[in-house]
Structures are given as structure tokens and as C-alpha cells.
Structure 1
Amino acid sequence: MSGTSGSYNAVTWLLDRNVEEGRGAKLAFTDTVTELTYGELQRQTRRVANMLRRLGVRREERVAMIMLDTVDFPAVFLGAIRAGVVPVPLNTLLTSEQYAYVLADSRARVLFVSEALYPTVKDIVGRMPDLECVVVSGKNSFGHKLLSEELAKEGDSFPTVETHAEEPAFWLYSSGSTGMPKGVRHLHSNLQATAETYAKQVLGIREDDVCLSAAKLFFAYGLGNALTFPMSVGASTVLNADRPTPARMFELLNKYNPTIFYGVPTLFASMLNDETTKNERAGTRLRICTSAGEALPESVGNAWKARFGVDILDGVGSTELLHIFLSNAPGDVKYGSSGRPVPGYKVRLVNEAGDDVADGEVGELLVEAPSAAEGYWNQRAKSRATFEGHWTRTGDKYTRDADGRYTFCGRSDDMFKVSGIWVSPFEVESALITHPAVLEAAVVPEADPEGLLKPKAFVVLRAGAKTDDLHEALKEHVKQKIGPWKYPRWIDVVDSLPKTATGKIQRFKLRDGETAKA
């Protein structure tokens, strides 16, 4: 990669290069209300950089972003990076106190917030000691600065700060599937690394592609899908500020005809099973779909392919590694598997002693990645436990078959043994959702009267599902599917499962007794 030993600013490669190569008039982003060409985006990022300088934000200081997926997001994110300032996109679904924690932890000097999201933070911004300014994206400033008015004051000329390829460019906070989020510090070179590996060599992304991502830009997966990857080749992106409901996704698929649709397993399942959209198509130009965030059940992948004629490329990534590092590929799809290592990434499966395991044995997944983060902010012990020299511990348990494909078993802290044999919650969940009554399932360990761990299941039923003798029917179904010792001894029917904003089931909440009963 160019620039790794000296001056390199990610915005120069992602954005300015497109303008220099003649794509200044080409559509970069539309949020269904406003369109932004590459040339307009370049000017907007320069105005953002000038504004940050006027506000007194210095190089390497942080600015927080609680922003919906509109054209203002890439302008602020890339404008900050152009100025050598570190943008910190935050999950738009956090609570006030969670925002207070992250704003204090990151010591953000400025908060950019979408008008619709401001009410969540209005009571905390005054007590953040490091926060000096709030800038609102929208029409109502709530007594703060309005982004459109601030940018109108600025010129569109700005000398891009000469940053280093290996200095932090932006932070992402981990999704919190196992507790409070951690600040993950990513480098300028990491964005290009994901584009030149997964986007180029797995997706085969092209300049004529139109991208639509259900995963939001604040999430590492969504940032790659909707910003890094299309900009790496001068493609176009449709942004969705609304909730990614099945109806909304089908509306955008049919209106904008994207060629690449990036989803998550929960959404794909919902789109297949939503009664109100059962006759919808997925546009006419769709050539590829991807899935990440949680392993894709085989039944969902097969049903999607049967209905829409397009494969879902299931893969696994992480906030720490920025995007997908194991993936199925076009022409090499095996549903139920996470596929093979993405070119440019190396993986190992190790046991508790750190020794490599054989094919078919369960081991923790370690990855050597060109896109690995520098570490966690203010969490030295966790950084040391996760980032071990060239290798990053993912916390995921996997098996590898003789063909070199990897199959997800569960999070290291979700796995448990029954009768001395490892049980994967995901395997039991995948078996449960093949029953016609079950829409979603989550499995956690529960102690029986003798204190031995056994599987306990929480299931969300399909609309109209019959509940007569359901518990016994589901137990028998799992026994037949994956083995008699793996069936759930207890089954709770619930209205919904606790998840992160990116669709990952928060099993730790189920273990702690947080459920929504049906």
C-alpha cells in the first residue's frame, strides 16, 4: 500500500483521487432527499475541515458523531480526517447514559448530532467537561450551531493535513455484545486495506456498482459497505436514514436498483418472512448480497437464493479488524459456513493452551490482519488480551473442515460443555429455526438441579404458529437435527431477543435474565 512509510491521509486516496481521475460529477451518495457528487463531497469535506479549525479543534483531538445515515455523515467523517481530527461515529440507538459514558471516555471536543437524535443527549451535553460545542445536522439547532449554517460560512479550499498512514484516523466503539463498548482506534491505512482485500478480491466491486447497506455507517461493517468500498472504485451509494425494516429495504431495492445489497441475518430472515412484503422483488440489477454481524443460518441462505436467485455471501468480521476477514465468495458458497480467509488475511484456530487444533476440532479464531486496530482506548489489559503481536483474538469459536472452510460455533464466552462435549449455541439455534413455528432463537447455558450445564432456548414464534405441544415438538426436532445431547431442556417463548444495533444477539443479557415474555 502506498504511503505506509510516510505522509498518507485516507481522504486523499478515498475521495480526492476520484475527483482527479474525472469522477467529480458522478454521484457519490444519495440519502433519498439529497444527492452529493464526488466533487460536491470534496468541497463539503474541506468546509468541515475549515469549520473544525475555526472551532479550535486541533489535530488528533476527537469529535463525536451521533448521526443518521444522510449525506452529512460522509461529509463530517471525511472532513474531520482531512483536518487530522479523529471522528468517532457512535451507535445511534444508545441511551443518554451510554452516550455520557462514551463522550466522557473519548473526551470529544465537538458533538455532531442529527436533529432527530438530539433529544436523547439534550440533558447530558451540559455536563460533559471536554465537550465545547454541539453542531446539529438538520433544520432545528436547539440553541446550538446548525451544520448547514456553519458550513455556509466556510470556503471550500483546505490543505489536507499530512498525516501518517499508521496514526489513528478514526475510532469506532465496539457494539457491546458482551458489555460496555470499547473505543477501537483505527489507522489511516486501515480503510484502504479493507478495500483492497475484501472489496476488491471477494466482492469484485466495480465503478458501475450501486450499493445499499442495511447496516449503518457507525458500524464497522456498514462503514465499509456504504463508504469505503464504493468510494474505493468511484461507485455510488444509497443511504438509508430510517430503520431497516423489510418494507423500507424492499422500497429502496426497487426504487434505486442497487447491484450490491449488504444485510445481516436477522434482516434477511425478516424480509423472507414478513407477510406484508411476501410478493416483493429485490430490484432487477442485484448481483450480490453479503451478510455479517452474526452467522447466517443455512435455511435463510437457501431460502433467499431460491426466492431472489442471488447468493448471500456470509462472512465474519469485527470492529477490531474493521471488516470481513472470513467469507464465502462468488461461485464458492456453502451455506452454514463462514467460508475461507479473505485474501490478505491469515487465520489460526487454537485451543486453551494456544496450540493449533486439527480439522474438525473447535478452536478460538486468531487473525493476522492488515486492517487490525491499534488497540483499545484507555483499556491496556483488554488491548493486551486481544492484540497479541501480529495476531488478533476474535473471541469466536470455529471449526475448519478438510476443504479449508470455517464454521462458526459461538462466542468463546457463549460456548459450554454438555456431558463433556462442546455445545455451540449457534448450532442449536440454527436447528430450532428450521422448525416451521420458530422465527428466531437464542440459546444459553442453564444449570440443572445437579448443577450441570444444559442448553436453554428462547424462541420468537412466527405469526400464527400453533403452540400445542410445541415445547416437546421443538426438543424432538433438535434431537433429530443435531443430536440427542444438544436439545434444549428448557424453552421460553418470548416477544423479542435482546440485540445490538447491528443485529448480534446479546446472549449475556439472556443469561442475566433480561427477556421480553410473549
Structure 2
Amino acid sequence: MSGTSGSYNAVTWLLDRNVEEGRGAKLAFTDTVTELTYGELQRQTRRVANMLRRLGVRREERVAMIMLDTVDFPCVFLGAIRAGVVPVPLNTLLTAEQYAYILGDCRARVLFVSEALLPVVKDVVGRMPDLEHVVVAGKDAHGHKKLSDELARESDTFATAATHPDEPAFWLYSSGSTGMPKGVRHLHSNLAATAETYAKQVLGIRGDDVCLSAAKLFFAYGLGNALTFPMSVGASTVLHTERPTPAAMFALMNKYNPTIFYGVPTLFAAMLNDETLKDARAGNRLRICTSAGEALPESVGNAWKARFGVDILDGVGSTELLHIFLSNAPGDIKYGSSGRPVPGYKVRLVNEAGAEVADGEVGELLVDAPSAGEGYWNQRAKSRSTFEGHWTRTGDKYIRDADGRYTFCGRSDDMFKVSGIWVSPFEVESALITHPAVLEAAVVPEADPEGLLKPKAFVVLRAGAKTDDLHEALKEHVKQKIGPWKYPRWIDVVDSLPKTATGKIQRFKLRDGAS
């Protein structure tokens, strides 16, 4: 689709096609309170498009979304795209100052915000010079425009904007775990690119699937899981507004019987290790699970399969590339690895000089992706260093085996050498969590008295774990698992590990504290 002439609007393919093919009465989304069919969603997106036109928002201008995962989210997101307006979904867990930065950076004309999240930004909106309207989704708009009232005024007829496949359709801001977030500009053609590759050829999504994603819609991973992929085949999605705790996920599984569950490694581990939920079931229709965000430890994948009889397809994706580009696949799973390139994606591993490395050598992962963003907004230098022609630098270190499978070693800025040999924090962490006393682990470099880097571990213990001689036992455990030079020289027992909203361990915070 990308690079072709003529008009193409992502909503025509994602939504209108389903209605035209007879799925207008089929359930598209439920948020446990409200149900929305494909036909109702089509009408609501037309009302949103008309509302934006009435508010004076023009094609290519931005509207920000700080919205919980309710049926209002796809209405606003797809309605803006229908109008040729660019929606910018934002992480619902940011601070007021982070919102101020992003709202100013993207120059949003309208902010759509869930009522429960309004208090966080109430003191910010008045100092945004480009922000002209605040529209609140909820029962009380607190003096702002109320979404339901605004939509009730509008017609459900709208001529979809004749956008171009290479025209920006939406922006996603990167997690910003080491600084302020960066706005990634994604194109109208990018949504279909992820659906036609990963969803169709790896996940094998079907029209009769019911999808449940722990990752929220404002994440690239969650957007594909809960919106792009199910809508690409006319499937149904269960949305939830609360934090994805193990108890909440099991409750939703038993109520809605999803066929696909999209999770993250920390959640899968928590669901397996919560003693209060040791007899919990995952519904009776679950056929596949996926994992992304961080590499899935082999022990977690095997334990999940043993308990529920369902595989987890571990893969890796990014905001810049919109969804997963390396993945295990049904019938081709090796827990502990990220699998092989998704059909339609090409990958390379290169060293510091840019030369490709051989099998068994660590290199930085570069991806040639049909779903790559066109760059970062207002960050030319960073765009040039990340988006190199066809190739996108991921910042991930990987190793490829002789079978063509890729195994995650760590972020480029997390890797370090011990005795001249690269050490992967993830490898040491994966070894640590196979010890019966350890629930979670994070590993960072620490300088010894001679100034040489060695691994230092931070571990969260399981409830009731015995601490007698634990430090020496863990060191010996790692030596036996992965090699005598990789064991952690220092081990700190902590109550929790710092993480991003996506569940990724923020090792830089531990490094700063350790140095």
C-alpha cells in the first residue's frame, strides 16, 4: 500500500469494509459496561468526524487522547482518522508535566480525556496555547464539553477524507523511559501492514476470535492487539479500564472466554505465581497467547504451557515499528528465544562498525519494516540516527543461532563486558528466576575495586522464601546455569523493581543507584 498513488483511509479498510461485508450487527468492542457493534462504531466515528469539523479542526492537525480503554477510545481514534485528523493517544499514567510537554510538542487542537483522568491535567490545559477545546468522556464534564452531548448533536453521515496511504494517520509517543517521550508519526498504511503480516501470518487471527489484551490501546502493542488485529478480520475485543492485575485478568477470562490473550512477561509470571489464584482458570476457549514488551523467560513460557495447555508466542516489537517483527509461531516455538522474522520483515545484526555479524555473535538488531514510522516529530537528529533508509535501528542486542532464531541479549545501553566477553543482563536475570526463591530479577553493571565491570543483581523474593545463605546459593545457581564469569558479584534483595507503564524494567534507575 505504501508508496502507491490514489487515496486510502485506514478506517475504510478497518471498519467500513466489515459493515459492507455484512458484519454490521456483530460485536466489535465491549468494555464490560457498553457493547458496540461494527455498525454502531461506524456511525459513532462519523459523528466524531463531524464534531471535529464543527470545532474547526482541519486535516493533518492533531487531537490528543488521554482516555481509558472504553468503547469511546476506538470511536474517537477512528473518527479522527476518518476526518483526516491525526489522533495522538497518550499514556494514561503520566504526570501533569509530562502531559504538558507532549501537548505542547504535538500542538493538539483538542484534548479528549476520560473523566477519571481529568484531575491530572486540569491545571495544564489552561497554559497550552494551541489547545482550544477539552472534551470529557464520562458523566460529568466539569465545565468542559461532554463527549456524549457533543456526539448527540452530529449527523452519522460523513464523507471519509481522501487521505493518502503515505499520509500520517496517528502519532504514538515512545515510552520515554530515559527521557521525555518522542512522537512517532505513523501512516495510514501502517495499520494494515501489521495486520497482514503478524496478525494474519503468525497469529492466525480469525473472525470468530475474542481478544483480550493486558496492554492498553495507547501502547503500540495494545493498539494492534485490541483494535487493528480483531478489526482486520471482524473479530471482537474485550476492553478493560483497570490495571491488568492477575485477579482482574482471570476474572475477565472466565467471564468472556477469550480465544486470544495478549500479555507481557511480568504479568504472565505474576498470574502463575499468585498463590491466591493457584486454582484460577483461563476460560475454556483460549487457543493462543502472545507476549512482548520484554523477552519472555523460558521458565515462564514452559510453566504457562504446563498449567494451561496453551502456548505463548513470544516476540519483540517497538513503537517505531508499530508491532511485533520477530516472533515465535504456532508449531515453531523455542522458549527463551524471540523466534524468527515475521513474514514481510527483514532483519540484520550488525557490530559497532556497521558490519553484519555471524551466527553466535552479538549484534544490534536492524529491521526493514513495512510498518515503520516516518520519523520522530521535531527530533531530526534522532530520526536520522534511528530511521536509516529502509532500516530502523531498534537499540536491541541480539544473537542469531544456526537455525535462524534470534535470542534477546539486552538493550544496547544495558549490555556490558566482563573479562572482555559480552554479558546479557537478561540471560543472568533468566537464570536467577529459575531459583525457587526468586520471583523477579534485574541485573546491571557495577565497578569492582579495580574499576572493572561485574554483574550486580537486584532480586524480588517469592513469599516465604528462606534467606539463609541465599546470596551464595544464587551465585552458585547462576554459575551452574550459564557460566562461571556471568554470576552476580553483588545481590540486593528489594521489595520491587522500577518499571515503565509497559512493564519493562528500568535498569537505568538501578544503574544510577548502583554507581
TM-score, normalised with respect to structure 1: 0.98
CA shift at 1:165, angstroms? 0.2
CA shift at 1:177, angstroms? 2.9
The answer to whether the 8 Å contact 1:205/1:233 transfers is: yes
CA shift at 1:5, angstroms? 2.1
- Where does the alignment leave 5 or more consecutive residues of structure 2 unmatched? none
The answer to whether the 8 Å contact 1:215/1:502 transfers is: yes
Q: SS in structure 2 opposite 1:40?
A: helix
CA shift at 1:296, angstroms? 0.1
Inter-partner Cα distance in structure 1 for 2:116 and 2:511:
33
CA deviations 1:382-439 (Å, max 9, x no partner) are: 0000000000000000000010000000000100001100000000100111111111
CA shift at 1:510, angstroms? 1.2
Inter-partner Cα distance in structure 2 for 1:180 and 1:411:
18
Inter-partner Cα distance in structure 2 for 1:379 and 1:497:
31
Matched, 1:376 2:376: yes
Greater CA drift, 274-283 or 220-229: 274-283
Q: SS in structure 2 opposite 1:375?
A: coil
CA deviations 1:70-92 (Å, max 9, x no partner) are: 00000000000000000000011
Report what 1:430 is aligned to: 430
CA shift at 1:495, angstroms? 1.4
CA deviations 1:460-514 (Å, max 9, x no partner) are: 111111111211111111111111111111111111111111111111111122x
Inter-partner Cα distance in structure 2 for 1:101 and 1:492:
35
**CA distance 1:448–1:2, shift in 2 (3 Å):** closer
CA deviations 1:299-320 (Å, max 9, x no partner) are: 0000000000000000000000
| Aligned length in residues | 514
The answer to whether the 8 Å contact 1:305/1:312 transfers is: yes
Inter-partner Cα distance in structure 2 for 1:456 and 1:355:
31
The answer to whether the 8 Å contact 2:433/2:439 transfers is: yes
**CA distance 1:398–1:3, shift in 2 (3 Å):** closer
Q: SS in structure 1 opposite 2:494?
A: strand
CA shift at 1:291, angstroms? 0.2
CA deviations 1:204-235 (Å, max 9, x no partner) are: 11100000000000000000000000000000
Inter-partner Cα distance in structure 1 for 2:141 and 2:265:
37
Q: SS in structure 1 opposite 2:74?
A: helix
Matches within 5 A, 1:340-489: 340-489=340-489
CA shift at 1:105, angstroms? 0.8
The answer to whether the 8 Å contact 1:209/1:230 transfers is: yes
CA shift at 1:179, angstroms? 2.5
- Where does the alignment leave 5 or more consecutive residues of structure 1 unmatched? none
Q: SS in structure 2 opposite 1:382?
A: helix
The answer to whether the 8 Å contact 2:209/2:230 transfers is: yes
Inter-partner Cα distance in structure 1 for 2:88 and 2:4:
23
Q: SS in structure 2 opposite 1:334?
A: coil
The answer to whether the 8 Å contact 2:3/2:166 transfers is: no
Greater CA drift, 165-174 or 492-501: 492-501
Q: What percentage of aligned pairs have identical amino acids? A: 91
The answer to whether the 8 Å contact 1:290/1:314 transfers is: yes
CA shift at 1:2, angstroms? 8.5
The answer to whether the 8 Å contact 1:291/1:313 transfers is: yes
Inter-partner Cα distance in structure 2 for 1:507 and 1:152:
48
Q: SS in structure 2 opposite 1:101?
A: helix
Inter-partner Cα distance in structure 2 for 1:253 and 1:160:
36
Greater CA drift, 13-22 or 477-486: 477-486
The answer to whether the 8 Å contact 2:168/2:185 transfers is: yes
The answer to whether the 8 Å contact 1:23/1:234 transfers is: yes
**CA distance 1:240–1:4, shift in 2 (3 Å):** farther
The answer to whether the 8 Å contact 1:177/1:504 transfers is: no
CA deviations 1:311-359 (Å, max 9, x no partner) are: 0000000000000000000000000000000000000000111111000
Inter-partner Cα distance in structure 1 for 2:67 and 2:190:
22
The answer to whether the 8 Å contact 1:459/1:494 transfers is: yes
Inter-partner Cα distance in structure 2 for 1:348 and 1:381:
22
Inter-partner Cα distance in structure 2 for 1:3 and 1:326:
24
Inter-partner Cα distance in structure 1 for 2:317 and 2:244:
20
Inter-partner Cα distance in structure 2 for 1:103 and 1:497:
29
Greater CA drift, 376-385 or 458-467: 458-467
Report what 1:159 is aligned to: 159
Q: SS in structure 2 opposite 1:226?
A: helix
The answer to whether the 8 Å contact 1:211/1:258 transfers is: yes
Q: SS in structure 1 opposite 2:22?
A: helix
Inter-partner Cα distance in structure 2 for 1:165 and 1:444:
43
Inter-partner Cα distance in structure 1 for 2:355 and 2:412:
16
Q: SS in structure 2 opposite 1:376?
A: coil
Inter-partner Cα distance in structure 2 for 1:497 and 1:4:
47
CA shift at 1:280, angstroms? 0.5
The answer to whether the 8 Å contact 1:15/1:42 transfers is: yes
The answer to whether the 8 Å contact 2:2/2:189 transfers is: no
Greater CA drift, 483-492 or 328-337: 483-492
The answer to whether the 8 Å contact 1:212/1:261 transfers is: yes
Q: SS in structure 1 opposite 2:495?
A: strand
Q: SS in structure 2 opposite 1:261?
A: strand
Inter-partner Cα distance in structure 1 for 2:243 and 2:431:
29
The answer to whether the 8 Å contact 1:4/1:189 transfers is: no
CA shift at 1:3, angstroms? 8.5
The answer to whether the 8 Å contact 1:397/1:412 transfers is: yes
Greater CA drift, 262-271 or 118-127: 118-127
CA shift at 1:142, angstroms? 1.4
CA deviations 1:156-198 (Å, max 9, x no partner) are: 0010000000010000001123322110000000000000000
CA RMSD of aligned residues (A): 1.2
**CA distance 1:96–1:367, shift in 2 (3 Å):** same
